[in-house]
Structures are given as structure tokens and as C-alpha cells.
Amino acid sequence: MASEQSGAEDEPPSLLWGLDPVFSAYARLYIKDILQIRESRQVPGIYFYKNHPLFQVDVLGTVVYKREREDFYCYGVDDSTGVINCLCWKDEKWRDQGDSVKGKGHGGVFNVEEQLRKLCEAQRSRCMLEIGDLLQVRGSLKTSREQREIMASSFYKVSDPVMDVQIARMLDMPQLYRDCYNKPFQVPCAELEAGTTDAGGASNIQSMLGQSVRILKEFLKVKEVPKFRPYDVEYLLHPLIRSPVSSTSTRQEATSVGPSFPTQVKNLLKETLKLLQREGEIFRKVLSPDELYHVTEQDKDLLAAIRDVIQEDSKREKYAEKGCHILHVLSSVRQRYSRNLSREALEVALKFLECNSDIISTTDSHYTVL
């Protein structure tokens, strides 16, 4: 498998990754394959199974070890092909709930607090696992200390007393591999402009993507844009794409060669926004059909939330000496501001705050206030 995945020719240009359905899905791979897939040379945090780009996976397995920290659990998940570490964040309300919600029903009257307490307990019980429990995890892949692990976006305990869930998955996985993962990703010719199928064309695509990233970064910085939608900035990329032709005959000829002008612009913008998200320059506070992006350095609410977390928690004895660890800050800000905040976006915001002397770093991963 390693020899199949090691060739540079198996990695398509990043501009075309969105054409592969695997890229947008949670890939159901065996853990042994997740541990062996190679990381992209173009974009850190993206991995390739054969020539399929992916960054998020779906894993089902038995918990074989458990480590608990203040903000998260580390579960070792075994699907019988391998074991992978899964980082599962605790919900803030579980830690702070305490005895704050203890309402009881009186005289058969519906009690909102009591029902809320029961709901929270049911949710908590599904997300607190012990060794031997069956765990389903969805999340993004990362490599930490040369070890592959999953940063969970959702996880829960699976009740499977007669093993019907596990059997169904065992039957589905080989078919997924046959029909999808083991088949090479074929780039549709219509999605490429004339001449982009060779090495020089791939280089042109990379150059175009680099230019679009620089244009968008400069625009957001100069205009101090706090948030935007794709159609607000789409026009900025028009000069990078070959202008639409006017003649009917030439237009028909161009259509047979490649996609239309609007399609090329939308594809370029889509890949540009993905790259800016991976760099932490932008993020989506809420995942909704209204595709609204927040600019990390211009989001005053985000910067205030980060500053408040570090200022408040640095007073605690645990963080008094070195300051707050970046993972603690990430967990707290996710609870206060946005669950969709990435570590990359947090790092950009921390660097911005430090440059403005709002916070200081005591180590590579600890922060405190002046």
C-alpha cells in the first residue's frame, strides 16, 4: 500500500480536490489505512488514500484505553485493524453543571428544569465512555508528535447489544473500498482548461490559486473586512480567469474545452476559501446554508472572548505560573463563542493579540496577560 501511495504523480492539484466526493465526506476507512495514509505536500492537514484527498474520517470501534484531562478525553479506538487516538472535547456545561439544575416535579406539574436535567444527563451518558464501550467518532485528522490522531467534531457511545451495528458496518466497508476508495480519482477533462492536464498546467493552476489567495488576503486586510459572503468577493478573482468570449462560435468551442467563466470563478473561489480556512485566516462561526465567513483578525468579538478567557483563567492557581495552554483556550472559546473555531484560526488570533500587546506567550503553547 505504501508504494501505491508514495508517488508524487498520485496527488492532483489542490484546486481540483473539491471535485472528488471523498474530500467533502467523512471517509469510512479502516484504522490501519488511516495510520498509513500520507500527508499532502501541497497543504498540511490534508491526507491521501491512494489519490483521494481527505481530511475528515468516520471511525467505529471499541475503546481500549482512556485518559481524562480537564477539557477533553483521549480514547483509544480499536476497529480490529488498528488503534487510533481520538481527542474528544468535553462540553462546558457538563463541568459547570454541578448542582445548579436540580428541579423536581411537583404534583404532576411539568417541570422544565427537571426535564432539562434529564436531557443533559442522557446526553452526558452517551459521551462518557469506559473501556470496552463501542464508540463512533467523526472528526478531522491531524499528526501530533509523529502520531496520527482524530480531533473529534462529534462522538457518542453506540448501544449495540446484538452487534447489528458492527455487522452492518463490516458488510458496508468492503463495498465502499471497491466502489469508491480503491478506484482512482479521475479528474473530469471538462473541469480543466486546455493544456492543464500536463505538469505545466498543474503548475499554472497552483499559481492561479496562489494569486487568488494573495488578492483576497490583501483585500480583507486593506478594507478591514470583519465578515463576508462568497458573492461579496467573487469579482476580485475575475481578472485571474480567461475572460468570457463574445462570438457564438468561439463560445461553443470554449464550452467544449472547459467549464464556463462563472463556473471557473466559483471553483477558484471555493478552493481559495478552503485554503484560507486551513491557514486560520477566516472561519465560519455558524455552519448554515448562509455561507458567512468571519475574518479572524477583524473579529472583535472573537478577540475579546480569547482575551477574557486568558485574563480570567490566568488567575487560577493551575495557570498562574505558565499561563493558559492553547488547548484550554481553544476549548473555552469554543464554548463561549463558536464550536466551529479551528486551532489554526485561534493561533492567528493569538498572534494578532500578542503583536498588539494584549497577551504574552510564556512558552510556545502557553499564554497569559500583561
- Tell me: do 137 and 273 sit in the same domain: no
In a domain, 30, yes or no: yes
In a domain, 107, yes or no: no
Pairing type for strands 56-68 and 72-78 reads: antiparallel
In a domain, 102, yes or no: no
Q: What is the pLDDT of residue 172?
A: 93
Highest-scoring range by mean pLDDT, 1-15, 126-140, 251-265: 126-140
- Tell me: do 210 and 80 sit in the same domain: no
pLDDT digit string (tens) for 230-271? 999 999 998 888 644 443 444 444 444 457 788 888 888 998
Residues contacting 273, CB < 8 A, separation 6+: 230, 282, 293
User: Domain of 7: which CATH number?
Assistant: 2.40.50.140
pLDDT at 228 over 90: yes
pLDDT at 22 over 80: yes
- Tell me: do 233 and 87 sit in the same domain: no
- Tell me: do 236 and 138 sit in the same domain: no
Tell me the pLDDT of the chain averaged across its residues. 82
- Tell me: do 225 and 151 sit in the same domain: no
- Tell me: do 84 and 167 sit in the same domain: yes
Question: HSE (CB half, 13 Å, CA atoms) of 294?
Answer: 22
Q: What is the pLDDT of residue 27?
A: 95
- Tell me: do 306 and 256 sit in the same domain: no
pLDDT digit string (tens) for 190-219? 444 444 444 455 556 677 888 899 999 999
pLDDT at 173 over 70: yes
pLDDT at 134 over 90: yes
| Per-residue CA distances from 52 to 3, 25, 93, 268 (Å) | 15, 11, 38, 19
Q: What is the pLDDT of residue 113?
A: 81
- Tell me: do 177 and 29 sit in the same domain: yes
Select from 127, 131, 176, 172 the least CA-distant residue to 153: 127
- Tell me: do 257 and 360 sit in the same domain: no
In a domain, 17, yes or no: yes
Q: What is the pLDDT of residue 245?
A: 42
Q: What is the pLDDT of residue 203?
A: 58
In a domain, 108, yes or no: no
- Tell me: do 69 and 140 sit in the same domain: yes
pLDDT digit string (tens) for 65-107? 999 888 888 999 999 999 999 998 887 655 554 444 444 445 5
Apex 349 CA angle, 346 and 352, nearest 5: 150
Examine the fold and report which residue of 155, 181, 207 is the final residue of a domain before the chain moves on: 181
Place 345 in a pLDDT band, splitting at 50, 70 and 90. very high
Residues 204, 198: contact at Cβ < 8 Å? no
Sign of CA dihedral 24, 213, 45, 357: negative
In a domain, 283, yes or no: no
In a domain, 363, yes or no: yes
pLDDT at 166 over 90: yes
pLDDT digit string (tens) for 48-70? 998 899 999 999 999 999 998 88
Domain count, the chain: 3
- What's the domain range around 152? 2-95+121-181
When pLDDT is averaged across residues 30-45 and rounded to a whole number, the result is 91
- Tell me: do 142 and 255 sit in the same domain: no
pLDDT at 8 over 80: no
- Tell me: do 152 and 73 sit in the same domain: yes
In a domain, 109, yes or no: no
Stated pTM of the model: 0.56
User: Domain of 345: which CATH number?
Assistant: 1.10.10.10
Examine the fold and report which residue of 278, 306, 321 is the final residue of a domain before the chain moves on: 278
Q: What is the pLDDT of residue 11?
A: 75
